[in-house]
């Protein structure tokens, strides 16, 4: 049985996250497919890990990091979060994403008192993420003109 340990993202993981984000496949599937410079990443990362409305986690299997998940509180809601998941290039294709998402949602639920919905924005061409969120129980909410699909999972953790 595979156990994914969920840890808070810290500066020690910043370089790995930057490399994963700039991976060719990750960029193609991201809403912003531009290359991110190290300087811009460092600025972004420094803000994200201290933001009280962002829960940023690293997944680890047998002391090896395998991906990151970020939950960002929706700016117009007190209890809705957007989820962003990225499996490291070396960990892809091993069937880890659903377990990683589940473990991360459990971690978020242990740290946040109230969660109503989780939402995921996925590029229309990103078949793997669409399958992940649908298989987890997220429902298609809307499709935007820029070919982004929003999926929504009702949590209602009060």
Q: What is the pLDDT of residues 58-90, one digit of tens each?
A: 999 999 999 999 999 987 777 899 999 999 999
Q: What is the pTM of this model?
A: 0.93
pLDDT band per the 50, 70, 90 thresholds, residue 142: confident
Per-residue pLDDT for 157 more than 70?
A: no
Report the pLDDT value the prediction gives residue 158, as an integer from 0 to 100.
55
Exposure pattern of 67-88 as b/e (b: 16+ CB <10 Å)? bbbbbbbeeeeebbbbbbbbbb
**117 CB burial (10 A radius; 0-12, 13-18, 19+):** middle
Q: What is the pLDDT of residue 75?
A: 78
Cα-Cα-Cα-Cα dihedral sign, residues 106, 110, 116, 118: negative
Distance CA 83, CA 142 (A): 16
The pLDDT value given to residue 31: 87
């Amino acid at each position: 049985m595979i156990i994914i340990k969920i840890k808070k993202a810290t500066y020690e993981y910043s370089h790995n996250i930057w490399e994963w984000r700039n991976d060719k496949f990750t960029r193609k599937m991201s809403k912003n497919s531009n290359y991110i410079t190290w300087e811009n990443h460092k600025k972004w990362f420094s803000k994200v890990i201290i933001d009280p409305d962002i829960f940023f986690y690293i997944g680890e299997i047998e002391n090896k990091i395998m991906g990151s998940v970020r939950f960002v509180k929706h700016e117009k809601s007190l209890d809705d979060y957007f989820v962003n998941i990225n499996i490291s290039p070396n960990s892809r294709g091993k069937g880890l994403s659903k377990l990683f998402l589940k473990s991360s949602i459990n971690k978020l639920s242990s740290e946040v008192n109230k969660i109503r919905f989780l939402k995921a924005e996925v590029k229309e061409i990103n078949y793997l993420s669409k399958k992940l969120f649908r298989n987890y129980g997220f429902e298609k909410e809307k499709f935007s003109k820029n070919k982004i699909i929003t999926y929504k999972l009702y949590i209602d953790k009060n």
